[in-house]
Amino acid sequence: MESEIIEIAKATQEVAKVGNTAIEAAVKLGTFLAEATNEPRHLMVNIVTERLKYICYQQQQSLLNKLNAQVSRRGIQGNIRIVSPKLAIPIIEYATLEENDQLQSIWAELLATAMDPNHLGEIRSAFIDIIRQLEVIDANILSESYSEYSNISRERVHGQAPSASWVSPTEYEIDLTTLHSHGNTRSLEFEASIDNLMRLRCITPYSSNSPHYTVIAGELGTRDYPDPSRYESVCLTSLGVAFIQSCLTKHSEKNCAQPLNS
């Protein structure tokens, strides 16, 4: 009986430790959110505590670590830009629900970019909806597509372009078959990812005649993609480029809102 009491006491202590740690994580995250939004600390702490009380504290702590690392990398400690709660609160909420480390990093990147006074681009609410519907393979394809787009854009500007004026990303063809990290580019998973990124309007089929945005379905009607080229030759949309520059770590640098070929 005595040994059972001891074990129960130990278990109770461990539960208390976890509870206290979770509360501490919520308070720290709420404090960070208060600084980002310039809202009262107690209000933000209450929001985090109430909305995220069922979330494992490790995920909250992981997000906080990522945010602090982003702020440090950008060198904006003490000089952050105030973020609207309309953006900050859903980002925090969805980020702490995200169990995948890579996707959580994208959420952290978005909030850090919104806080960065050196970032000149607009942080759109649509970015939140896009991240919510991304899988890891989608993020990887976007990242590599942007690298291809950047290379093509710089080559054109430095070697061939008669003008340094901004050119729409829909004018740059991206050959998906050259993306080395996806193996069989005609796999079901890959094609599903391309379809999803087109649905989110991050990429669109490339047309050498007249670059355009292809509407899948909606008020403007439905158009068929050329098959099978939509899985082989695409281009980024302007929305896709803005999203990547705001949310993907490798490309979210200071002054990234400036055109690549300026």
pLDDT at residue 38 greater than cutoff 80: yes
Asked if 26 contacts 48 with a C-beta cutoff of 8 angstroms, the reply is yes
Token duo for residue 11? 């278990």
Mean pLDDT of the chain: 75
- Give just the sign of the alpha carbon dihedral 169, 132, 20, 49: positive
Per residue in 88-143, pLDDT tens?
A: 989 988 998 898 999 999 999 999 999 999 998 899 999 999 999 999 999 999 99
Task: State residue 22's pLDDT score.
Answer: 64
Say what the pLDDT of residue 217 is: 41
Tokens of 114: 């919104």
Give the three-class secondary structure for 8: helix
pLDDT for residue 166: 63
Strand order across the 174-175 sheet? 174-175, 233-236, 203-205
Region 173-181: mean pLDDT is 71
Distance CA 194, CA 188 (A): 10
Q: Let me know how long the chain is.
A: 262
- Are the C-beta atoms of residues 186 and 231 closer than 8 Å to each other? yes
What pLDDT sits at residue 95? 92
Rounded to an integer, the average pLDDT of 153-166 is 58
Domain ranges of the chain: 2-118, 136-251
| Highest mean pLDDT: which range of 30-39, 44-53, 58-67, 155-164 | 58-67
Q: Is the pLDDT of residue 17 over 50?
A: no
Residue 253: the pLDDT is 47
Judge whether 67 and 112 are in contact, CB under 8 Å.
yes
pLDDT at res. 127: 97
Return the bridge partners of 204, or none: 235
More confident position, 59 or 116: 116
Instruction: Between 257 and 196, name the one with better pLDDT.
Output: 196
pLDDT, average across residues 73-101 = 90
Region 53-59: mean pLDDT is 68
CA-wise closest residue to 207 among 162, 185, 182, 237: 237
* Torsion angle, alpha carbons of 140, 144, 149, 150, to 10: 110
In angstroms, the Cα distances linking 82 to 34, 46, 118, 257, 260 are: 10, 19, 13, 18, 27
